Amino acid sequence: MSVNNTTHDTRDRLLDTAERLFAERGVDATSLRHITTEAEANLASVNYHFGSKEALFRQIFARRIGPINEERLRLLDDCEANNPPTLECVLESFLGPALRLRLDPDHGGEHFMCLLGRLFSEPSEWKMLIMDEFKEVYQRFATALQKAQPDLIPQDIAWRLFFTIGSMAHLMSGGDLLKTFTQGRCDPSDVEGALNQLVQFSAAGFRASSHGDTP
């Protein structure tokens, strides 16, 4: 094996291991030493490939969120071929690519889903580091949702999209609890079934009447 291949393998192993441990333990609870021990690498390799824990964290998201957001925008373009786009189509375009990551043949999608859900559902400053990854997607989808539900004021769109993201995060991080509570009748590992439930739930929220700025 060449030096370049060995270096690349070490970098990927660090990314995969950090992603799994961050998902399982949380970012703050996972030290670089935990990561390098599990990845069978030395501490200097983290500095060589990434420079810091923060840079390692950012790279985990860059390699996953980039393709997810590209797929979201591709699906949204298809939705917007109909003018106005349907609410369910816009919501499925936003939610589907993240939930379907569980089926990623890479075998790491489930860890990233759990990490993403953990970040959005738990108090943490780490999520603020990845906001730049979502800005373009947020604006595009907020605009599309406004077209789909023109009676809503922008503040309502923002609130309801925020709640939708929260529901998605809860499903990602705690969906297994639902399977336990329902004795397997509701199974989040059925990604398309879970997606359909989440889209219908979110669509009902977006269709609720608006009270505008009334307290």
> How many Å apart are CA 96 and CA 192, to the nearest integer?
8
C-alpha span between 198 and 94 (Å, rounded): 11
d(Cα 198, Cα 120) in Å, to the nearest integer?
Answer: 16
Phi, psi dihedral angles at 115 (to 5 degrees):
-65, -45
Which carries the bigger pLDDT value, residue 102 or residue 54?
Answer: 54
Report the pLDDT value the prediction gives residue 3, as an integer from 0 to 100: 41
Q: For 78-90, what is each residue's pLDDT tens digit?
A: 999 988 899 999 9
| Each residue's pLDDT tens digit, 162-213 | 999 889 888 877 778 888 999 989 988 888 999 999 999 999 999 998 865 5
Predicted pLDDT of residue 210: 80
Give me the amino acid identity at 157: I
Higher pLDDT, 1 or 114: 114
127 token code pair: 């999520």
Q: Is 92 exposed, middle or buried (0-12, 13-18, 19+ CB in 10 A)?
A: buried
pLDDT at 215: 43
**129 has pLDDT over 90:** no
Q: What does the pLDDT read at residue 72? A: 95
Q: Which residue has the higher pLDDT, 132 or 84?
A: 84
Share of residues in the chain with pLDDT > 90 (%): 49
Compute the distance between CA of residue 144 and CA of residue 76 in angstroms, rounded to an integer. Answer: 8
pTM: 0.78
Per-residue pLDDT tens for 8-46? 689 999 999 999 999 888 888 899 999 999 999 998 999
Maximum CA extent, the chain: 67
Mean pLDDT of the chain: 86
